[in-house]
Amino acid sequence: MVRKSATIVLSVALLFSVGCSIQPPVLLPRQIQVEDNKLLKAVVPAVPTLEPISMANAQGIFRRVLLQGIQYRDIFSACHNRTQYVSLLLQKWSISSGKVWIIAPARYTLLSREVISISDASGILGTASWGYHVAPIVRVGNAENSDIYVIDPLFSPDSLITLNDWFTRINSPNSVYFFSGPNDYLFNSLDGLTIYDNVTGKNSPPVKLPPWVPNVLTGHFQEYDFTHDADRVADGLALSDLSIRALDQLLPLSKTYNQREAVIELIKNPAGYLKYIANGKPKQDVDAAIEAYYLQRKAEWRSKIDVLHQ
């Protein structure tokens, strides 16, 4: 007998908000069909209650975030690191906060390769392709009337932005979103399969998924841990610093096509460039300066993170 599984249409925010007091004030980018077994509900992170703050307080917090010098112009490096750093700031400042995640179809279904496409504001670097984006959120207003605002200077460099406007500027209508707590650092992804053999009653060896299969979310999150993740956050922030320094200072000095392409590769993939240097690329004076700048910035960010944990 084949059991027919009824389907219901749920908003992703409703799906992912079990035990969550956040009531999103907007419609979702889209709605998806979810089987009524509700398995996804069991594995998403819990979201704490967000206590409202005044708009004046929120704008003051935004300005304090800008003073940190985070390179929001970098559209190629991991947004989860700068979001985690801002979340640590907000916790240090005793501000109730969470995160909003927007997920491209390529990361939530095996049936699509569609990603979020973001154009470089400088017009030099083309388009970045994202599987997801994340930013900190706060609740602004009072106990009777409040809305969720996003702290994301990449899309709103002068002030906080409403959830609706944030979605509009990202412009990825087939993406879905959900909320998490401030220390849900990064989601786990499907990167292999273990197949259960009903005949032997054992698990077969894990099967590595081929590269053309989308690397989708499992729904489980890795919680930020100072011991393991503080250095990762510092690394991500330093890589963004390096990327923007290359854009502002090295690219204008590039005289040949090969020089320009090398700098663009550094801007788009600073981690890969540093790995290339470390693995035996013949070093030039500029490479030594690049490496030294990255290490300096990483040490400075790590020092700031250490202070936030005191």
DSSP string, 242-292: HHHHIIIIIGGG--SHHHHHHHHHHHH-HHHHHHHHHTTPPP-HHHHHHHH
Do 233 and 83 meet the contact criterion of CB atoms below 8 Å apart? no
pTM above 0.75, yes or no: yes
Mean pLDDT over 167-173 rounds to 92
Which residue ranges make up each domain of the chain? 9-33+41-224, 228-308
Instruction: Give strand pairing partners of 127.
Output: 119
pLDDT of residue 306 exceeding 90, the answer is yes
End-to-end CA distance of the chain: 61
What number of residues does the chain have? 310
Mean pLDDT lowest among 7-21, 194-208, 259-273:
7-21
Encoded amino acid at 254, one letter: S
* Rounded Cα–Cα distance for residues 290 and 220 (Å): 36
- pLDDT of residue 57 exceeding 70: yes
CATH code of the region 9-33+41-224? 3.10.620.30
Query: Using CA atoms, how far apart are residues 265 and 25, in angstroms rounded to an integer?
Result: 40
* Burial environment of residue 5 by CB neighbours within 10 A (0 to 12, 13 to 18, 19 or more): exposed
Q: Give the ranges where the chain is alpha helix by DSSP (H).
A: 12-15, 55-66, 79-92, 105-108, 163-170, 226-245, 257-268, 270-278, 285-308
Tens-place pLDDT, residues 76-85: 988 999 999 9
Cα 66 versus chain centre, distance: 18
CA–CA separation, 255 and 122 (whole Å): 19
**Per-residue confidence at 278, pLDDT binned at 50, 70, 90?**
confident
